[in-house]
Amino acid sequence: MSGMAIEGAVALVTGGNRGIGEAFVIALIETGAAKVWVGSRDAAAAAHLEAAYPGRAVAIALDVSKPDQIAAAAASCTDVSILINNAGAYNGQTLMTAPDMDAMREEMEVNYFGVVGLCRAFAPILKANGRDGRSAIVNVLSSGGILAAPVMGGYSPSKFAARAASTNMRAELAGQGTSVSALIVGSVDTRMAAHVQGNKEKPSDIAAVGLTAIRRGQDEVDTDRMAVEVRAAMARDPKALERAMARQLTATTISTGR
């Protein structure tokens, strides 16, 4: 699958009011996108982007765990040719010790069903608005989606599911000219990763990799050093890495991705 140009395109970014999503909004506009719909659970949270880019950043209320809001977004944002699925949920509980399954259900609703729901709703819109027959989806995933991380409870399995869905959607949408890029993100300086110790990448660096993936039509990209190191460690000795992840359950400091 070849890529597409960003200049003049219209994008929708979920979770676009802060962190990696906000970085995507800024990068898209500054690269030349005509307009970016900024999806956020609270549209007012994206007011600073609307003020910075009047007429080009447009906030829209969008909770990706709610099918009615996905449908409303598809009805309003009919000009989209790039979809960035960035919204995510991480609740910091393990599968066996969580008091109930509510947290892991939320993570699956947002990180998996939300991604699939957005892609289903916007697939015909992307087809209709393809630029030179090309449109793009970017799914912001995690190193926890290629490495099972017990400390990440339902989050890691939800990202595994979203990665598998990305592969399936890539095959289904290739015929209409829509590329599907999965970004494997490691440690980034965002609110979601506030508990992570050590060096963290800037959200703008992840967005830059994402834009390159759109231009090139790349299938899957490790966006930063941690993601690359995780994949390399898995290739060298996957069982040793699994044991290391298990030891983190009793560690006082959690060190993991996204």
The pLDDT tens digits of the residues spanning 100-126 come to 999 999 999 999 999 999 999 999 999
pLDDT of residue 159: 98
pLDDT at 134 > cutoff 60:
yes
Residue 240 neighbours by CB under 8 Å, 6+ apart: 233
Q: Provide the pLDDT confidence category of residue 248 given band limits of 50, 70 and 90.
A: confident
Q: Is residue 4 part of a domain?
A: no
CATH assignment of the domain containing 202:
3.40.50.720
Number of structural domains (the chain) is: 1
Q: Is residue 235 part of a domain?
A: yes
Q: SS3 for 221?
A: strand
Cα 90 from Cα 256, distance rounded (Å): 12
Q: How distant, in Å, are the alpha carbons of 20, 88, 140, 158, 203 from that of 91? A: 18, 10, 17, 12, 20
Q: Is residue 39 part of a domain?
A: yes
| Mean pLDDT across the chain | 93
Place of tokens 């970014």: 13
Burial of 143 (0-12, 13-18, 19+ CB in 10 A): buried
**Residue 67 structural domain:** 10-250
Q: Is residue 47 part of a domain?
A: yes
Q: Is residue 113 part of a domain?
A: yes
Q: Which two tokens stand for residue 3?
A: 């890529």
Q: Is residue 179 part of a domain?
A: yes
pLDDT of residue 191: 56
pLDDT at 258 > cutoff 90:
no
Q: Is residue 1 part of a domain?
A: no
Q: Is residue 219 part of a domain?
A: yes
Question: Could you read off the pLDDT of 168-224 as tens digits, one per residue?
Answer: 999 999 999 999 999 999 988 665 555 555 576 899 999 999 999 999 999 999 999
pLDDT of residue 250: 77
pLDDT at 253 > cutoff 50:
no
Mean of pLDDT values over 69-77: 98
Cα 42 from Cα 56, distance rounded (Å): 18
Residue 209 main-chain phi, psi, to 5 deg: -65, -40
> Model pTM?
0.92
